[in-house]
Amino acid sequence: MGEESADGQGGVLPRTGESVLVLGSGGGVLGSGGGFDVLPAAQRVGPYGTAYVMADGLPYGLDGGADGMERARREAARAGLGNVRFLRGGVEGIPLPGQSVDVVVCGGLPDGGEKAVAEAFRVLRPGGRFGMTATTAAMTADAVTDAVTLLAAAGFVSIRIAPATDHGQDVSSPIIQAVKPPVGPGLEIRPMRDSDAPQVLAIYQMGLDTGEASFETVAPSWEGFNAGRLRHLRYVAVDVDSGEVVGWVAASPVSSRQVYSGVVEHSVYVHPGCQAHGIGRALLSAFVAATEDAGVWTIQSAIFPENAASLSLHQALGFRVVGTRERLGCHRGVWRDVLMLERRSSADPPVQHG
């Protein structure tokens, strides 16, 4: 997770023609009080964009019933907000289809916590941005940490904290920014679930069957898969229509020693029928961003020299060859070399002992 010192709204604010969803503004249709007002948002997206407002973000004194919604529409009309759409329902069940908005913003962690953040992730398009802001007087350091944890668990990456506005008297408005992992049309990258096990292991086996992915020849059981890999830092790419898993990436610890706590090894596999469509690159990019958020300072991998596609992908994303282990193992009757690759974080790692 990163922290920035400058005004951090630029990465979150909606742009012309985009759609933005405002959750729980708490300050009325025309102002959230935290930097994400509906009026500026509607003006920024322009007549070809749309600003959605949930019922719980209506002005003080209005409820989400028919009367309250109608009064809110009239207020918006008087303000010239013809591109504002009011949505009835709660943040735990946002009445929008998946991948339908470009930006989600809210003033403080929405009621519903985990479910609300998961809904925000669902309705965002790949590459969509999330922004949450609240005054430090109302949001403790622990609350900020909890919000970051929820965002990471939902699948958001590139999580950053930036102080947006200094209100004086030790009160400021920190903005928590995050991104839904970008990927090609019709796909989504999300955290791996236990229910993905059959498809993940099937793709794993298909990769092993090529003879170019690993010394292993048989994919492990799901229990074995879990035992050797971290429960976080594992993602799948799925077809949004069918729910089919088309690729995955996961991390394994390299040691139990504290000094190596920020060093992981990873694997990335794509279904043979879905290769050469940028899925592997999208998965690995999301994984790298998530490791940066998690404080990982080194990602390492071992690749057969003959696996040119994997080698090219990793080098394109900042991995470098640091050595060759010659005749490391016998695979299908052939002694094979292995290239050792690593990617170092640009952030300074913390001092470790032990």
Domains and CATH numbers, the chain: 2-179 (3.40.50.150), 187-344 (3.40.630.30)
pLDDT, average across residues 170-187: 84
pLDDT greater than 70 at residue 78: yes
| Unique residue bearing structure tokens 């090609």 | 184
pLDDT, average across residues 34-56: 73
- How far is 224 from 253, CA to CA, in rounded Å? 14
Where is average pLDDT lowest: 89-103, 123-137, 191-205, 208-222? 123-137
pLDDT greater than 90 at residue 92: no
pLDDT, average across residues 213-232: 94
pLDDT, average across residues 201-227: 95
The mean pLDDT value of the chain amounts to 84
User: 184 CB contacts (<8 Å, ≥6 apart)?
Assistant: 126, 277, 278, 279, 282
pLDDT greater than 90 at residue 262: yes
Closest CA to 48 of 80, 18, 77: 18
Where is average pLDDT lowest: 127-131, 280-284, 289-293, 344-348? 344-348
What percentage of the chain has pLDDT greater than the value 90? 57
Helix or strand holding residue 73 (H, E): helix 66-78
User: Which residues face 325 on adjacent strands?
Assistant: 338
User: Which of 3-17, 34-48, 160-174, 326-340 has maximum average pLDDT?
Assistant: 326-340
pTM of this prediction?
0.86
Where is average pLDDT lowest: 32-36, 45-49, 247-251, 312-316? 32-36
Burial-class residue 277 by CB neighbours within 10 Å (0-12, 13-18, 19+).
Answer: middle
Task: Give ∠ CA 254-255-261 in degrees, rounded to 5.
Answer: 90
pLDDT greater than 80 at residue 291: yes
Where is average pLDDT lowest: 6-10, 130-134, 188-192? 6-10
pLDDT, average across residues 80-85: 82
User: 103 CB contacts (<8 Å, ≥6 apart)?
Assistant: 12, 13, 14, 18, 19, 20, 21, 124, 128, 129, 130, 131
What percentage of the chain has pLDDT greater than the value 70? 80
Distance between alpha carbon 185 and the CA centroid of its chain, in Å?
Answer: 17
pLDDT of residue 189: 98
Residue 42: pLDDT band (50, 70, 90) is confident
pLDDT greater than 80 at residue 59: no
* Cβ pair 174, 161 in contact under 8 A: yes
pLDDT greater than 90 at residue 316: yes
Would you tell me how many other CB atoms lie within 10 Å of the CB of residue 183? 25
- How far is 288 from 30, CA to CA, in rounded Å? 38
Task: Give ∠ CA 152-157-160 in degrees, rounded to 5.
Answer: 90
Q: Where are the alpha helices (DSSP H) in 255-338?
A: 279-293, 308-316
